[in-house]
Chain A
Amino acid sequence: MSEEPVVNIENLTKRYGEFTALDSLSLTLNKGDILGFIGPNGAGKTTTIKILVGLSRPTSGRATIAGADCVKDAVKVRRLVGYMPDKFGSYDNMRVHEYLDFFGAAYGIGRKARRARIEEVLETTNAAWMKDRYVESLSHGMQQRIGIARTLLHNPQVLILDEPANGLDPQARIEMREILLRLAAQGRTLIVTSHILPELSRICDQVAIVAKGRLKAAGTLKEVTSQLSQQRTFEVQCLQNDQLQSVAGVLENNLQQEASVTVAETEDIVRFRTGVSDERLSNVLSEIVSGGFVISQFREVVGDLEEAFITATQGDAATPATAGVGQ
């Protein structure tokens, strides 16, 4: 029996007059998924997020969180979702524990339970030492951690984080990554937007790329890169360095115009990009082996997110804006 999706977006469309910010977007996410929601500026990421948290009303389509409709059951959705906007939203002259105390009270958490919960979320985000500091005196990275602590106060099932790694230094980024992975391990579903794609590819098990309001690709990182890339990259690792040029020759002879072959002598690797079928590749590999070359590995290199992103957002023609994530 398949698990009920935690986040379900069906044909979500948002128009501002003539301008279409979001065009028939469909996505599903399961419990514990971390979705990297990426796209260029103005692609429709924040619009989607705003609809999910009840800050914006869709022109058409539907979005549900744990079965609750984001428009009709907005009050219920508020308790299910923890939202961290790209802007921190601090108040002057408030200490961290006062800031969290206020939001805890706003979510109706009792005083005693709130005190324990504040300690807990500060521990989770490695921010316990900041609790007596004034919020506005904290650095950007520290504020981001407090922002996540705030979203966790009411123990939401889904966390929606808009640019959580924005402006963080490498150390803070590593800490942020660890925090997000810890939250996903607790069974929460995360939707994370970011422009720092290598960072995102390290934590996300699902990726959705939007551009001009339309979904360009969605799925696991491998699925997305294979959806978008016309050519795949392969590596042939030789045991003997003097065979590299010969192996490269075999590849060039067999694939001719259909591949670009490069030799990395320091790595003992022949790398090539090609769009040929798996049958053709199998034949080429057989020929290399039968030629007496000693091959230690033949592997496909998974394309990176940046490459997929650029491919997805470069083309003008939009792909059908429906894709299943996590199914």
Chain B
Amino acid sequence: MSVAAEPIQQGFLRGTLVVAEREYPALLRSKQTGWILLTVAFCFAATVILKWPASAVADLSGSQPREAFATLAYCMLISVVLVIPGFPATGIVREIKQRTMELLLNSPLQRHEIYFGKALALVAFVFTLLAVTFPALACCYAMGGISLPGDIGLLYFLILILCLEMVAVGLLVGTYAGSPESALRWAYGAVFGLVFATMIPWQFMQGNDTIAAQGADIIRNLSPIPALRQLLGEASLNADGLGDTGSMMMRYVIVTLIAIVVAAYQTIRRLNHSLLDRSRSQGIITDDLGASDRWYRRIMFLIDPQRRKKGIPFYMNPVLVKEFRSRQFGRLHWLLRLIAGCATLSLLLTVLTTLGTVDWGVERIAGIIIIAQVALIIVLTPGIAGGLIAGEIEGGGWNLLRVTPLRAGRIVRGKLVSVLITLGLVLCATLPSYAVMMKIKPILEQQVYQVLISLVLAAVFSLMISAVISTFFRSTAVCTSVSYGVLLLLFVGTMAVWANMGSPFSHRFVENILSVNPMAGALNAMDVQGFEDFNLVPRTWYVSGISSVVLFVILQIRTWQLCQPD
């Protein structure tokens, strides 16, 4: 009996829908997604309850609903920035790792159908996430004083554009990354850069009429924050009495749509079999090369990664050495490049200080360096420490470590020290610039020491948070995402509260919130504009120091538990 073949149905929309129909339910089915949606819903409900007027007297000025609206708008921004990037970034990498990308690329589906199918599923997820916020915004609207198309509609439009940008960037990152963790690291780094770091130059150049200042003004259009603040009727962040002229929303939408189109084009271009054909070096060893090649490498590399190693000496913790060797950027030559980059950047900023001390002031430059250093810590730490234990479990190395005579404490120490050295070197690279600052303004010596202590604590605190998280999950990607979430909440979330000081948050409340953020302590110690009125040092030291000790104890206990027989 012959079976009649069904005609193959074709068409762009059909192919896209086929992919989206598989992706979207898969996204919703995971427990992780359920928890995320529940947490967002809970946070929004809590915000509305906190902001709901206590008295029955109507607020004719509409200031209370606007305060609530502003808080919800920031909550929405933080929620999408924390939640969305992880999904598109890991989607493509997972397909490659699970070898389902081969099946997709060998199917009659076109690569743009695969791309748009994935993007459509992610956009559907974005709508689901935003739908969770509807009740809170509806309550806000019910308070009065808020326009549906002018306020709520525009807010959703802005957030939707931001989400589309994050989806496009995340999918693009996924085509370059070699593992889900690396995809997460780069995606969160890129989003952090687009949303927050793009505003930093303008913060320090606003009001100037130089080309650099104009460039900074253009760059900040990549961030949704200026548009959001304009929508909420607020002045630009830390503006020197200057308001934004023109529609920031329009500028943001235009720049972002261009970025989305470019990212989508590049991603579709990369979606082919070359994604699956990533060969790697078969292991060339410098010692085996000819004399001229050996000399060339000796000149080019301070530490040649391709030289045959002598073996781990008895006084070294083998886990520490293994961590450095197995990390993509852990090898010494990469670390030296990183440190050189940091040192060059910090010295460049210091040169700028000396050239423009009158305009900028040492405090402002110190502010830039502090924020840049903490940004580096936030981007680096979860990527390195997020998979400290989970990565071993996932890769099958944990059981091999468990059957060696190494004790849990030695394993943990080796792993922690390997990350601490990296972070320490990054921080040390900026020491010359602080030395120059002290030379310019000797009175700052005490403050610089306080800044350095705060930064060291920021690094240790971040490391301990990521390391502890890595003992609670079995997937590195999950650990890395959760670590990014917690660190962003700690360092950026608290700064969002600071940005809203006065309306709605009081000075005391902001000070309490900032006490968990060592970066705020550093900015406070350096008397950076906006932080002079707080009293955060040594409060932030105690909070982050004690928390780090507690987290270290938890880490030791968890590792010991994981080393025990099942």
Q: 10 extra interchain contacts, Cβ-Cβ under 8 A, other than A85-B396, A97-B308, A101-B312?
A: A56-B566, A75-B405, A78-B404, A98-B325, A105-B316, A106-B318, A106-B319, A133-B283, A137-B280, A137-B282
Asked whether A91 is an interface residue with its Cβ less than 8 Å from the other chain, the reply is yes
* B406-A106 in contact (CB<8A): yes
Determine whether the beta carbon of A83 is less than 8 Å from that of B309.
no
State the CA gap A110–B310 with chains docked (Å). 12
Residues of B within 8 A of A54 (CB): 402-403, 565
Q: B326, A105: Cβ atoms under 8 Å?
A: no
B537 interfacial by beta-carbon distance below 8 Å: no
Question: Would B308 and A92 count as touching, CB distance under 8 A?
Answer: no
The 6 closest A-B pairs by CB, nearest first: A89-B396, A105-B318, A87-B396, A91-B326, A57-B565, A106-B404
State whether the Cβ of A27 lies closer than 8 Å to any Cβ in chain B: no
Interface residues of A in 76-91 (CB under 8 A from B): 78-79, 81, 83, 85, 87-91
Docked-complex contact A91 and B322, CB < 8 angstroms: yes
Query: Could you jot down 5 A-B contacts, CB within 8 Å?
Result: A91-B325, A102-B318, A103-B404, A108-B405, A133-B283
In contact, A137 and B403 (Cβ under 8 angstroms) = no
Shortest A158–chain B CB gap in Å is 12
Q: Give the interface of B toward A (CB within 8 A).
A: 279-285, 288, 308-314, 316, 318-319, 321-322, 325-328, 330-331, 395-397, 399-406, 564-566
How many A residues touch B, CB cutoff 8 Å? 44
Q: Is the CB of A134 within 8 A of B325?
A: no
Distance (whole angstroms) from the CB of B304 to the closest CB of chain A: 13
Which residue, A98, A105, A114, has most C-beta atoms of chain B within 10 A?
A105
Q: How far is the CB of A20 from chain B (nearest CB, A)?
A: 15
Are B406 and A93 within 8 A (Cβ)?
no
Task: Contacts A106-B405, A106-B406, A132-B308 given; indicate if A92 touches B326 (C-beta within 8 A).
Answer: yes
Measured in the bound complex, the distance between the Cα atoms of B279 and A79 in whole Å is: 37
Q: How far does the alpha carbon of A274 sit from the alpha carbon of B288 in the complex, in Å?
A: 66
Tell me whether A258 is interfacial, beta carbon within 8 Å: no
Q: Give A133 to B282 CA distance when docked, in angstroms.
A: 5
Closest to B395 in A: A89
Q: Which residues from chain A contact B311 at a C-beta distance below 8 Å?
A: 101, 104-105, 111, 114-115
Contact, CB under 8 Å: A107 / B404: yes
Query: When chains A and B are docked, how far (Å) is the Cα of A102 from the Cα of B319?
Result: 8
A323 within 8 A of B: no
CA of A105 to CA of B401, assembled, Å? 12
Q: With A132-B283, A133-B283, A137-B281 in contact, is A53–B313 under 8 Å at CB?
A: no
Q: Is A85 within 8 A of B285, CB to CB?
A: no
Residue of A whose beta carbon sits closest to that of B410: A106
In the complex, chain A residues whose CB is within 8 Å of the CB of B314: 110-111
A264 to chain B, nearest CB (A): 39
Is A281's beta carbon under 8 Å from chain B? no
Q: Does A50 contact B (CB under 8 A)?
A: yes
CB pair A94 B565 closer than 8 Å = no
Does A185 belong to the interface (CB within 8 Å)? no
| Chain A CB within 10 A, most for which of B308, B309, B311, B401 | B311
Alpha-carbon separation in the docked complex, A56 to B397 (Å) = 16
In the bound complex, what is the Cα–Cα distance between A81 and B402 (angstroms)? Answer: 12
Q: Are A134 and B283 in contact (CB-based, < 8 A)?
A: yes
In angstroms, Cα B330 to Cα A81, docked, is 32
Cross-chain contact of A105 among B281, B312, B328, B564 (Cβ < 8 A): B312
Encoded as 1 (CB less than 8 Å from any B CB) or 0, chain A from 190 to 226 comes to 0000000000000000000000000000000000000
B397 touches A89 (CB 8 A): yes
Chain A residue nearest to B404 in the complex (CB): A106
Tell me if B326 and A94 are in contact (CB < 8 A). yes
In the complex formed, the residue of A with least CB distance to B329 is: A93
A317 nearest CB across to chain B (Å) = 30
State the CA gap A306–B472 with chains docked (Å). Answer: 43
Q: Which of A56, A91, A106, A132 has the most CB of B within 10 A?
A: A106
Selected contact of A103 from candidates B282, B326, B328, B400, CB within 8 Å: B400
Assess the A134–B396 pair: CB atoms within 8 A.
no
State how many angstroms separate the Cβ of B218 from the closest Cβ of chain A: 39
Tell me the minimal C-beta distance from B389 to chain A in angstroms: 14
Interface set, chain A 101-159, CB cutoff 8 A to B = 101-108, 110-111, 114-115, 132-134, 136-137, 150
* Residue of B with least CB distance to A95: B283
CA distance A229 to B113 in the complex (A): 58
Residue of B nearest to A102 (CB): B322
B396 touches A98 (CB 8 A): no
A283 → chain B, closest Cβ, in Å? Answer: 56
Within the complex, which residue of A88, A101, A114, A150 is in contact with B396, where a contact is CB–CB below 8 Å?
A88
In the complex, what's the smallest C-beta–C-beta distance from A2 to chain B, in angstroms? 30
Enumerate A34-93 residues with CB–CB distance to B below 8 Å: 50-51, 53-57, 71, 74-75, 78-79, 81, 83, 85, 87-93
Are B283 and A137 in contact (CB-based, < 8 A)? yes
A106 touches B282 (CB 8 A): no
Q: Which residues of B contact A87 (CB under 8 A)?
A: 396
Chain B residues with Cβ below 8 Å from A74 are 565
Q: Return chain B residues, CB-CB under 8 Å to A53.
A: 403
Residues of chain A within 8 A of B309, CB atoms compared: 97-98, 101
Pick from A55, A102, A114: contact of B321, CB under 8 Å: A102
B-side contacts of A97, CB under 8 Å: 308-309
Minimum CB–CB distance from A63 to chain B (whole Å) comes to 12
Rounded to whole Å, the gap between the CB of B102 and the closest CB of chain A is: 17
